[in-house]
């Protein structure tokens, strides 16, 4: 039994023998490098990876201690701390010696708005598929566009976007935002990497000044394609069991989420077509936060938008809707009063939205429909998406291309 108990000496020996000098495994993202002399450069783990090994073993030690098996002092003692401190000091020299990309995690690690437009346009023109476009690839392209825009505009982690369900969406009317009505689409985020306790958090987005970068329009087109072109079963909202399990970014079926592998594969396709170079693919919150800062959003607003505030006021009492950040990410001024939505030049009535929103009472047995806050909000969201708006900057023939695939 003693051979399985975690101690300080065992942890130090494990780090020295198995972790600090271990070479990276090559993959499609980690390629081998050679020096100017042609000699292969041995790539080793960075400090963050080494520290994750330590954290995993410390978790094992805590479990053993709670079970009464470990009686020694804490494993992250002076020796381990000294080892990690020495590794930190040598981190800069390691990165230079192994020719790591110096642009990683800097202002260069991201994308410009021009590249975002190219990425969205590539999805609309089916540029992500090397072969003839099919209904499945077109749906995946629209899903990837929505996934990408939600991550950028709302600072959402890839995990949060994959597990988002229809029941987590609702519209919210914002007052005094400009000469035209402003409706924000809000996402409920009550679980994730940094929110294991089910704390209610929100992400919000409004119509973008550039229609190609409008998350709300892309949501409308994506649901339209699923419900009208692919002919997915349109959700009905009489009972929670009928629609609470439906995922926004669906996988093989509407009740299963998109997998990480599929999400990463399609984001890579989008980035390749748009010539976007970034180490962060599904988790690019750093690039999005920098984009908000360059658009004149304050630090406090970025913290609230990214759910990085942990004080009681932010977590328990405020709405988590950083309107200043939401405005600048949509291309408007940070102060209220600048929002303006273009008048539609072409609108397409979506029978599925009409069926979902106004056909609720059809087939309902009983004299009264029970009220539910989320269901009512979802009906309102479907109603706002009832007419798909195509401003003048968008070529209406794109929609014909989408429809002709099937």
Burial of 258 (0-12, 13-18, 19+ CB in 10 A): buried
Rounded Cα–Cα distance for residues 176 and 327 (Å): 12
Residue that wins the pLDDT comparison between 301 and 105: 301
The domains of the chain, with CATH numbers, are 2-97 (no CATH), 113-404 (1.10.443.20)
Instruction: State the DSSP string of 73-102.
Output: SPSS-HHHHHHHHHHHHTHHHHHHHTT--T
- Asked if 123 and 144 touch (Cβ cutoff 8 Å), the reply is yes
Q: Collect all residues with Cβ–Cβ distance below 8 Å to 390 and sequence separation of at least 6.
A: 211, 344, 345, 346, 347, 348, 396, 399
Encode pLDDT of 169-195 as tens digits.
Answer: 888 899 999 998 898 999 988 766 666
Q: What pLDDT band is residue 297 in, cutting at 50, 70 and 90?
A: confident
Q: Which of 18-32, 218-232, 302-316 has the highest mean pLDDT?
A: 218-232
Rounded Cα–Cα distance for residues 191 and 155 (Å): 15
Burial of 24 (0-12, 13-18, 19+ CB in 10 A): middle
Q: State the pLDDT at residue 326.
A: 92
Determine the Cα angle at 138 with ends 134 and 140, to 5°.
Answer: 115
Which residue(s) pair with 390 in the sheet? none
Question: What is the Cα 128 distance to its own chain's centre?
Answer: 19
Position 366 pLDDT exceeds 90:
no
Determine the average pLDDT of the residues in 30-46. 67
Rounded Cα–Cα distance for residues 3 and 217 (Å): 60
Q: What pLDDT band is residue 351 in, cutting at 50, 70 and 90?
A: very low
Q: State the pLDDT at residue 147.
A: 94
Average model confidence (pLDDT) for the chain? 76
First-to-last C-alpha distance (Å) of the chain: 64
Q: What pLDDT band is residue 144 in, cutting at 50, 70 and 90?
A: very high
Encode pLDDT of 74-117 as tens digits.
Answer: 667 788 888 888 888 777 777 777 666 666 666 666 788 888 89
Determine the average pLDDT of the residues in 272-283. 80
Q: State the pLDDT at residue 346.
A: 44
Q: What pLDDT band is residue 358 in, cutting at 50, 70 and 90?
A: very low
Q: State the pLDDT at residue 360.
A: 34
């Amino acid at each position: 039994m003693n051979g399985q108990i975690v101690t300080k000496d065992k942890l130090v020996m494990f780090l020295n023998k198995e972790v600090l000098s271990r070479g990276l495994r090559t993959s499609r993202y980690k390629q081998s490098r050679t020096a100017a002399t042609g000699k292969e450069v041995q790539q080793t783990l960075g400090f963050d990876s080494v520290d994750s090994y330590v954290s995993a073993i410390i978790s094992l030690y805590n479990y053993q201690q709670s079970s009464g098996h470990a009686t020694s002092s804490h494993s992250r003692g002076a020796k381990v701390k000294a080892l990690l401190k020495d590794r930190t000091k040598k981190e800069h020299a390691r990165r230079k010696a192994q020719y790591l990309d110096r642009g990683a995690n800097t202002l260069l690690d991201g994308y410009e708005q021009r590249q975002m437009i190219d990425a969205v346009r590539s999805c609309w023109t089916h540029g992500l598929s090397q072969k003839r476009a099919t209904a499945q690839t077109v749906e995946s392209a629209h899903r990837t566009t929505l996934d990408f825009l939600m991550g950028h505009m709302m600072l959402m982690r890839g995990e949060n976007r994959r597990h988002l369900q229809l029941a987590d969406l609702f519209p919210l009317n914002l007052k005094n935002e400009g000469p035209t009505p402003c409706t924000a689409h809000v996402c409920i985020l009550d679980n994730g990497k940094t929110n294991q306790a089910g704390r209610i958090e929100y992400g919000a987005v409004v119509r973008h000044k550039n229609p190609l970068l409008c998350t709300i329009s892309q949501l409308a087109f994506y649901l339209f394609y699923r419900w009208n072109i692919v002919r997915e079963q349109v959700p009905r909202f009489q009972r929670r069991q009928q629609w609470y399990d439906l995922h926004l970014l669906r996988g093989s079926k509407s009740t299963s989420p998109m997998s990480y592998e599929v999400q990463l594969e399609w984001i890579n396709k989008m980035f390749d077509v748009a010539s976007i170079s970034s180490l962060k693919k599904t988790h690019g919150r750093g690039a999005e936060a920098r984009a908000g800062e360059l658009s004149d959003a304050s630090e406090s607003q970025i913290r609230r938008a990214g759910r990085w505030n942990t004080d009681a006021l932010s977590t328990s009492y405020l709405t988590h809707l950083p309107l200043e950040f939401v405005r600048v990410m949509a291309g408007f001024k940070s102060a209220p009063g600048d929002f303006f939505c273009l008048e539609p030049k072409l609108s397409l009535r979506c029978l599925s939205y009409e069926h979902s929103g106004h056909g609720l009472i059809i087939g309902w047995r009983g004299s009264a429909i029970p009220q539910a806050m989320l269901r009512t909000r979802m009906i309102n969201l479907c109603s706002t998406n009832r007419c798909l708006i195509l401003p003048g900057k968008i070529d209406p023939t794109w929609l014909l291309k989408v429809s002709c695939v099937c």
